[in-house]
Amino acid sequence: MKDVAKRAGVGIKTVSRVVNGESYVAEATAARVERAMNELNYRRDLAAGSLRRSDRRSLTLGLLLANVANPFDAALHRAAEDVAQELGVSVLSASLDERADREQPFVHALATRRIDGLILMPASHDHAYLAAEIAAGMSIVFVDRPPERLDADCVVVDNRGGARQAVEHLASFGHRRIAFLGDRPTLSTARARLEGFLDGVGSLGLSSAASPTIDGLTNEYVAEAAVRSLFEASDPPTALFSAQNLVTVGAIRALRSLGLEREVALVGFDDLPLGDLLQPGITVIAQDAIQIGRLAAERVFARIEGDDSPAQRVVVPTRFIVRGSGEIPAA
């Protein structure tokens, strides 16, 4: 910038004014500066500027997800990116893979890069440590799972209600033996869906013996094996409620391999790509990842702009999508 100033024969501050489009620079001067910038192949350094700028903004948003390659996370990512892009903000993202021990180091790495705000899909269960980051000026919004031991904004879906709805739907087709298939119960979403399942089972008066719950299904292969063994035991269920997208895929594979996909009903939480083209189509409780991402981004930017209202809990409604697998009647 100094070089540009010298070449254009102006003061360094004038160059700064041109670069930032500040008011009141004579057209001729501005033109000379522009030319010098081109000749010298000048690129400004945003970080150097924010070092001295009063607001200290880095125009960068952090995004910590479970896995950027999961379709749910990816859709959320894209939605947040679009909001950020609109505001000239870049997005720094990373995948925690549900590993609680990775969360704090990753947050630290982002803090070190002076992000203005953070959208966090947490892997850990104690977020008290984030109070220090917030005090240091980072705005944080939780997505998919609420904060624990910390007061902060979050954007979630009604996991419990959605799961309950799934059970009631299955029961309305005559099912009295419904199995629950879930991810690790350390995930708050997995727990909430289990609670919703139990709510439904309870209100319908189903026996717990007829409502086996299997959890700890961390990927589709584990889920597939679990479902297969479920049907090797006596008194197998007539319907399945799968509480996560990868688990649903495992369940589908298992039913297919057993030739039961048209005998046993299945409702999944979270939509699947091409879920409508399978036969039968997969009935799901869909979460609007785009909406979640958009709302979270809007929330975090509102905080960055100084909104200091009490922490909000935004609940995005789920959508029940009937496609066939959930409407198979009990034998």
| Measured CA distances, 61 to 54, 57, 83, 95 (Å) | 19, 10, 11, 15
Please, which residue, 20 or 85, has the CB nearer to DNA? 20
The nearest distance, CB 48 to a copy of itself, in angstroms, is 6
Report strand pairing: 319-321 vs 283-286. antiparallel
* x/- letters, 234..263, toward a copy of itself (CB under 8 A): ---------------x--xx--x-------
- Looking at the Cβ atoms of 88 and 205, the one nearer to a copy of itself is 88
Q: Quick one: which segment of 72-80, 199-207, 211-219, 321-329 binds a copy of itself (CB under 8 A)?
A: 72-80
Q: How many CB atoms lie within 10 A of CB 150?
A: 17
Closest distance of CB 135 from DNA, Å: 15
Query: The tokens of 251 are what?
Result: 């369940």
Q: Which of residues 12-51 bind a copy of itself (CB under 8 A)?
A: 41, 43-48, 50-51
Q: Let me know: does 36 contact 8? Beta carbons within 8 Å.
A: yes
- With CB under 5 to 8 Å by kind, the binding choice for 75 among DNA, a copy of itself, none is a copy of itself
Closest to 296 in 3D by CA, of 151, 82, 115, 3: 82
Query: Is there a contact between 141 and 298 (Cβ–Cβ < 8 Å)?
Result: no
Partner whose footprint covers residue 92, from DNA, a copy of itself, none (CB < 5 to 8 Å by kind): a copy of itself
| Cβ-count burial 95-122 (b if 16+ within 10 Å, e if not) | bbebeeebbbebbeebbeebbbbbbbbb
324 counts as binding a copy of itself under rule CB under 8 A? no
Instruction: Tell me how crowded residue 90 is: count the other CB atoms within 10 A of its CB.
Output: 13
Find the binding residues for DNA in span 39-98 (CB under 7 A). Answer: 43-45, 48-49, 51-55
Residues 6+ apart with CB under 8 A from 222: 216, 250
In the bound complex, what is the minimum distance in angstroms from residue 178's beta carbon to a copy of itself? 23
* Residue 169 identity (one-letter amino acid): H
Residue 258, classified by CB atoms within 10 Å of its CB into exposed (0-12), middle (13-18) or buried (19+), is middle
| Residue among 52 and 308 whose Cβ is closer to DNA | 52
**Which residue type does 319 have?**
R
What tokens appear for 324 in the block? 């066939």
Q: Is residue 219 close enough to count as binding DNA by CB under 7 A?
A: no
111 near DNA, judged by CB under 7 A: no
* Residues paired with 31 in a beta bridge: none
Binding pattern for the stretch 5-24 against DNA, x by CB under 7 A and - elsewhere: ----xxxxxx-xx-xx--xx
Site for a copy of itself in 102-121 (CB under 8 A): 108-114
Instruction: Tell whether residue 108 is a contact of DNA (CB under 7 A).
Output: no
Q: What are phi and psi of 133, to 5 degrees?
A: -65, -40
Q: Which is nearer to DNA, 10 or 328 (CB)?
A: 10
Name which position in 26, 132, 277, 315 contacts DNA (CB under 7 A).
26
Which residues contribute to the site for a copy of itself (CB under 8 A)? 41, 43-48, 50-51, 58, 60, 67-69, 71, 74-75, 77-78, 81, 85, 88, 90-95, 108-114, 132-133, 135-136, 249, 252-253, 256, 272-275, 277-279
Residues that bind DNA (CB under 7 A): 1-2, 9-14, 16-17, 19-20, 23-26, 28-30, 43-45, 48-49, 51-55
